[in-house]
Amino acid sequence: MIYVVEMDVRLPDTWDEDKVKSFMERERETSQKWQKTGKWKYLWRVAGRYSNISVLDVESPDELHEILSSLPLFPYMDIKVTGICRHPNAINENLL
Amino acid sequence: MIYVVEMDVRLPDTWDEDKVKSFMERERETSQKWQKTGKWKYLWRVAGRYSNISVLDVESPDELHEILSSLPLFPYMDIKVTGICRHPNAINENLL
Amino acid sequence: MIYVVEMDVRLPDTWDEDKVKSFMERERETSQKWQKTGKWKYLWRVAGRYSNISVLDVESPDELHEILSSLPLFPYMDIKVTGICRHPNAINENLL
Amino acid sequence: MIYVVEMDVRLPDTWDEDKVKSFMERERETSQKWQKTGKWKYLWRVAGRYSNISVLDVESPDELHEILSSLPLFPYMDIKVTGICRHPNAINENLL
Amino acid sequence: MIYVVEMDVRLPDTWDEDKVKSFMERERETSQKWQKTGKWKYLWRVAGRYSNISVLDVESPDELHEILSSLPLFPYMDIKVTGICRHPNAINENLL
Amino acid sequence: MIYVVEMDVRLPDTWDEDKVKSFMERERETSQKWQKTGKWKYLWRVAGRYSNISVLDVESPDELHEILSSLPLFPYMDIKVTGICRHPNAINENLL
Amino acid sequence: MIYVVEMDVRLPDTWDEDKVKSFMERERETSQKWQKTGKWKYLWRVAGRYSNISVLDVESPDELHEILSSLPLFPYMDIKVTGICRHPNAINENLL
Amino acid sequence: MIYVVEMDVRLPDTWDEDKVKSFMERERETSQKWQKTGKWKYLWRVAGRYSNISVLDVESPDELHEILSSLPLFPYMDIKVTGICRHPNAINENLL
Amino acid sequence: MIYVVEMDVRLPDTWDEDKVKSFMERERETSQKWQKTGKWKYLWRVAGRYSNISVLDVESPDELHEILSSLPLFPYMDIKVTGICRHPNAINENLL
Amino acid sequence: MIYVVEMDVRLPDTWDEDKVKSFMERERETSQKWQKTGKWKYLWRVAGRYSNISVLDVESPDELHEILSSLPLFPYMDIKVTGICRHPNAINENLL
């Protein structure tokens, strides 16, 4: 099951530099752990914005939520989730 | 250069069935022509909506526009274009 | 896989009464056919608006799209799709 | 009287971990207390977002407000309330 | 059960003067029929806009929908429905 | 002169419990003082949201502003003001 | 009583040139008739847009509505009405 | 050159009473200094909201910015700027 | 005086091919006439959308309006106008 | 590759004057460093708002992101990025 997810970070302005740095490091570790499982297929930076667009290939909506909610910045992001399926005009049988 | 593009179709209600069918056929031909060039990497249906999310790999913004504006439904779609680049946390060197 | 779907009808003002009536009849037939399969669990009217909120239990995002896009009014509705999963505070093990 | 309610949590970034944890525990207790009464029928997590969609079956708008406003996070959520009624195309006589 | 309802009219520009006039007359008849029952308490014009704000006192969400959907312009209005209840700071015991 | 006013409270998350309680008390006193004058006709809670819809009958826009801006939470509310007038289809001569 | 009113024209694309011209002429006549009464104080074009910002000085909300709804394009404009009053920092006693 | 400017104040909830009072005083001094030059023609309170609508008559866009950005609350306001010009239906040759 | 203007075309779906072609030709002639005067400095296509971003250097808001409103598609475009001035961090004395 | 970028500053209200001043100085240094490379072509102030519109001429989306994300205020700005290309009606062969 493929999802396209857009995440916009709202960095809290009350955090000091150390707290920001610590969150960033844990954010990277968590996202890379999931990328290595093969479930987080693409992690793209939106050019010029504090946002990413990601493509995930998961077993279920529950697994999608498990992955995204494990990110330390999860409560501080605006997240848009789009579930996708096969387009009749697509020439490839597979989604990815 | 990778773009993620979301297209929402606003089907004109003044068109009769034949006109709609003719547009749909030409839309499929055009999108498949571009997919075969390898520039239109993914064409995904948004589950439950008259929309698609596409990933294109083009030479330039001009080529992106050439492709999208060649679609017969181009004037009747709401289109959101997002240019992407490498994310520092991505484990793959390449975008695709 | 459970989805909550909100559909707002934008009735084309260029259609005459017969065309509207014909669409309405085919809309009812289609939605009832899917309700009888047990996949379209709830079809609720939003009180005071030309909208419905529906709960569907489907095999896949593709099946969700098959059902919704089979509705005659599909191109004339604004549709919001929300995929759901288990809430940690829910006391029932099952979603439905 | 059935309501579909969507709640988006805006977790205050000025709260420390202990305060967040304490709110979360009281939030769970309160929502489970209401689920056990049978009035809070469904509590679903929106997959990938810090939000829930809930279905409540209450006596009156006042009771709906009593339940939702008793949640400790009530002042820190964006809440959308939709009152529903019978849809003419629904095949079931009952709403739930 | 009290509802505050805001209705914005989107007058179709494809209708000729006669059709508009006929709709307006039937709209008035229908809204006055409901006002006379005592269920449509207030019908106010929004000063300077093609909109009204209404207060209805009905038995149920179903009755609210019966009333609003009986208006000939119902499919051509943007309608916002707000269910209300007792405010703890209100000095009157009754809502109306 | 009748106004329908919708107020959404954005409770500051930096306030401690005592500050919140003190504001709430002064808010009640102020709103009840104005209700007793007969100028603040209706104060309704929006069911399920931290919002109210109010109907005020005042001498002038200046008096409306005097009343609303005297509320302690005035700077922390999103306020929508709608001036109303007689609707041609209303069966009552008076607005209230 | 002073109002600032912003009107955006949505010119119907189904009207032929003659109908547009006829509406434009009647629009000018109507707006000039009201300007001559001294009630429509300012009629400004928004630079670069098919919109105007107007300042009206009227007896009541009913008179404001009488003026605006008499414009032939009234049903085809998005209208935003703002009632104003004295600002405590204004150095002039009068609004105009 | 005439501009209509709408300013909505977002009062920071982290400021104590003294800081708020000090900002308010400097805000008044600054706005009155500009009103006395004749460049800030009208300063109107939006009835019922923490907002103003102002009309300024300046030499250039740079002067408009000099005036607005000199306000102490400038970084804490949502500001909408509308440049205006002569309307063909206006009966007065001058804008003010 | 420099303006950045974004224009989104809403092509009417009721126009036949000839009417569209005729409008397109007159649109090009008009925009090129203004470009040749040196007042319409830049005319850029937004990559992937039926929109342009333009930079104009004009004498006054009235001249800006004269140019934009002379475009045949003017009534069928959503137009966003932004007046600009010197930025304190800009290293060039001139705007263009 | 040309981009038009609009940046709106949301100055955190929790920062004291020194912190604001320090950020402003580093913001100026960074933006001027990039202007001197010739990649940041135009830096314009939006008249009357805490915003800028910029035109950048870069090698790639990655370079655009490198420049914008190096700004100290990057996490505290709402940024809108628009990629542009040649317009068929433009009389100049080059974009700048």
Domain holding I58: CATH number? 3.30.70.1060
Average pLDDT on I13-39 reads 96
Calculate the average pLDDT of chain I: 97
Distance, in Å, from the CA atom of G39 to the CA atom of G59, rounded to the nearest integer, reads: 9
pLDDT given for residue C72 in this prediction: 97
Determine whether the interchain pair C36/D91 forms a contact, defined as Cβ–Cβ distance below 8 Å.
Answer: yes
D48 with A68: CB under 8 angstroms? yes
pLDDT in tens, A6-57: 999 999 999 999 999 999 999 999 999 999 999 999 999 999 999 999 999 9
Determine whether the interchain pair J81/B86 forms a contact, defined as Cβ–Cβ distance below 8 Å.
Answer: no
Residue D25 lies in a domain: yes
Determine whether the interchain pair C48/E65 forms a contact, defined as Cβ–Cβ distance below 8 Å.
Answer: yes
Determine whether the interchain pair G60/F85 forms a contact, defined as Cβ–Cβ distance below 8 Å.
Answer: yes
> For A85, which of C2, C61, C86 is closest by C-beta distance?
C61
How far does the CA of residue B17 sit from the closest CA of chain J (Å)? 33
pLDDT given for residue C93 in this prediction: 87
pLDDT in tens, H17-50: 999 999 999 999 999 999 999 999 999 999 999 9
Chain E residues inside the 8 Å CB shell of F28: 88-89
pLDDT in tens, E40-53: 999 999 999 999 99
- The rounded percent of chain B whose pLDDT value lies above 90 is 98
Please, which pLDDT band fits residue I93 given cuts at 50, 70 and 90? confident
> For H50, which of F3, F61, F74 is closest by C-beta distance?
F74
Quote ipTM for the complex.
Answer: 0.96
Nearest alpha carbon to residue I55 among I46, I67, I66, I43: I43
Q: Which residue of G has its CA nearest to H4?
A: G53
> Is the alpha carbon torsion for C34, C35, C41, C43 positive or negative?
positive
pLDDT given for residue G48 in this prediction: 98
Residue linked to tokens 């809309």: C27
pLDDT in tens, B44-74: 999 999 999 999 999 999 999 999 999 999 9
Residue E88 lies in a domain: no
pLDDT of C76 above 90: yes
> For E75, which of C14, C45, C50 is closest by C-beta distance?
C50
Q: Tell me the one-letter amino acid at B20.
A: V
CA dist F88 to D12, E39, E46, G81, Å?
48, 18, 12, 20
I44: contact with J, CB 8 A cutoff: yes
Q: Got the DSSP string for B34-84?
A: HHHTTSEEEEEEETTSSEEEEEEE-SSHHHHHHHHHTSTTGGGEEEEEEEE
C9: contact with D, CB 8 A cutoff: no
Average pLDDT on H11-21 reads 94
G47: contact with H, CB 8 A cutoff: yes
Average pLDDT on J4-25 reads 95
pLDDT in tens, C10-48: 999 999 999 999 999 999 999 999 999 999 999 999 999
Nearest alpha carbon to residue H48 among A36, F4, E38: F4
pLDDT of E93 above 90: no
Nearest alpha carbon to residue B37 among B6, B12, B66, B58: B58
Distance, in Å, from the CA atom of E2 to the CA atom of C48, rounded to the nearest integer, reads: 13
Q: Which residue of C has its CA nearest to E79?
A: C49
Residue H8 lies in a domain: yes
Q: Which residue of G has its CA nearest to H43?
A: G90
Calculate the average pLDDT of chain D: 97
Flag residues of chain D having pLDDT under 70. none
pLDDT of F84 above 90: yes
Chain J residues inside the 8 Å CB shell of B59: none
pLDDT of E87 above 90: yes
Chain I residues inside the 8 Å CB shell of H2: 61
Q: Got the DSSP string for chain D?
A: -EEEEEEEE---TTS-HHHHHHHHHHHHHHHHHHHHTTSEEEEEEETTSSEEEEEEE-SSHHHHHHHHHTSTTGGGEEEEEEEEEE-TT-S-SS--
Chain G residues inside the 8 Å CB shell of I15: 13
Kindly compute the dihedral angle of the four CA atoms of residues D44, D47, D52, D58, in this order, to the nearest 10 degrees. Answer: -30
Interface test with B, best of J3, J5, J58, J65 (most B CBs within 10 A): J65
DSSP-derived secondary structure letter, C75: G
Average pLDDT on I23-38 reads 98
The total number of residues shown for chain E amounts to 96
> For B65, which of J2, J65, J85 is closest by C-beta distance?
J85
Determine whether the interchain pair B15/I11 forms a contact, defined as Cβ–Cβ distance below 8 Å.
Answer: no
G14: contact with I, CB 8 A cutoff: yes
Burial D56-71 (b: 16+ CB within 10 A, else e): bbbeebbbbbbbbbeb
Going by beta carbons, is chain I in contact with chain F, meaning 3 or more pairs sit under 8 Å apart? no
Domain that includes residue D59, residue range: 2-83
pLDDT in tens, A83-92: 999 999 999 9
Beta strands in I17-71 (DSSP E): 40-46, 51-57
Determine whether the interchain pair B64/I50 forms a contact, defined as Cβ–Cβ distance below 8 Å.
Answer: no
Determine whether the interchain pair A11/J75 forms a contact, defined as Cβ–Cβ distance below 8 Å.
Answer: yes
DSSP-derived secondary structure letter, F84: E
Determine whether the interchain pair G47/H91 forms a contact, defined as Cβ–Cβ distance below 8 Å.
Answer: no
> Is the alpha carbon torsion for C36, C41, C46, C51 positive or negative?
negative
pLDDT given for residue H29 in this prediction: 98
> For H75, which of J11, J45, J46 is closest by C-beta distance?
J11
Q: Tell me the one-letter amino acid at F40.
A: W
CA dist A68 to A34, A73, D6, D47, I92, Å?
10, 9, 19, 9, 45
Determine whether the interchain pair H81/J47 forms a contact, defined as Cβ–Cβ distance below 8 Å.
Answer: yes
Residue F88 lies in a domain: no
pLDDT of J93 above 90: no
> For F47, which of D12, D61, D75 is closest by C-beta distance?
D61
Determine whether the interchain pair I50/B74 forms a contact, defined as Cβ–Cβ distance below 8 Å.
Answer: yes
Chain F residues inside the 8 Å CB shell of H46: 81
Residue E95 lies in a domain: no
Distance, in Å, from the CA atom of E24 to the CA atom of E29, rounded to the nearest integer, reads: 9
J35: contact with I, CB 8 A cutoff: yes
Q: Which residue of G has its CA nearest to H40?
A: G90
Distance, in Å, from the CA atom of E45 to the CA atom of I94, rounded to the nearest integer, reads: 51
Distance, in Å, from the CA atom of G41 to the CA atom of G30, rounded to the nearest integer, reads: 14
C2 with C39: CB under 8 angstroms? no
Residue B88 lies in a domain: no
Going by beta carbons, is chain E in contact with chain H, meaning 3 or more pairs sit under 8 Å apart? no
G residues 53-92 near F, CB within 8 Å? 60-62, 64-65, 81, 83-86
pLDDT of I49 above 90: yes
G33: contact with H, CB 8 A cutoff: no
Residue I54 lies in a domain: yes
How far does the CA of residue I58 sit from the closest CA of chain J (Å)? 16
Determine whether the interchain pair H47/F75 forms a contact, defined as Cβ–Cβ distance below 8 Å.
Answer: no
Chain B residues inside the 8 Å CB shell of A42: 90, 95-96
Beta strands in H1-96 (DSSP E): 2-9, 40-46, 51-57, 77-86
Token pair of J61 as six digits:
């989306």
Determine whether the interchain pair D47/A69 forms a contact, defined as Cβ–Cβ distance below 8 Å.
Answer: no
Beta strands in chain C (DSSP E): 2-9, 40-46, 51-57, 77-86
At I54, phi and psi to the nearest 5?
-125, 150
F22: contact with H, CB 8 A cutoff: no
B24: contact with C, CB 8 A cutoff: no
Average pLDDT on J13-19 reads 93
> Count of domains in chain J?
1
pLDDT given for residue J55 in this prediction: 98
J neighbours by CB contacts (3+ pairs under 8 Å): A, B, H, I
pLDDT in tens, G41-93: 999 999 999 999 999 999 999 999 999 999 999 999 999 999 999 999 999 98
Residue linked to tokens 């700048």: J96
Determine whether the interchain pair J64/A48 forms a contact, defined as Cβ–Cβ distance below 8 Å.
Answer: yes
Distance, in Å, from the CA atom of C90 to the CA atom of D41, rounded to the nearest integer, reads: 10
Distance, in Å, from the CA atom of E69 to the CA atom of C52, rounded to the nearest integer, reads: 13
Nearest alpha carbon to residue A1 among A88, A92, A85: A85
> For D48, which of A12, A75, A79 is closest by C-beta distance?
A79
- CA angle, D49 as apex, D47 and D50 as ends, to 5°? 125
Residue J89 lies in a domain: no
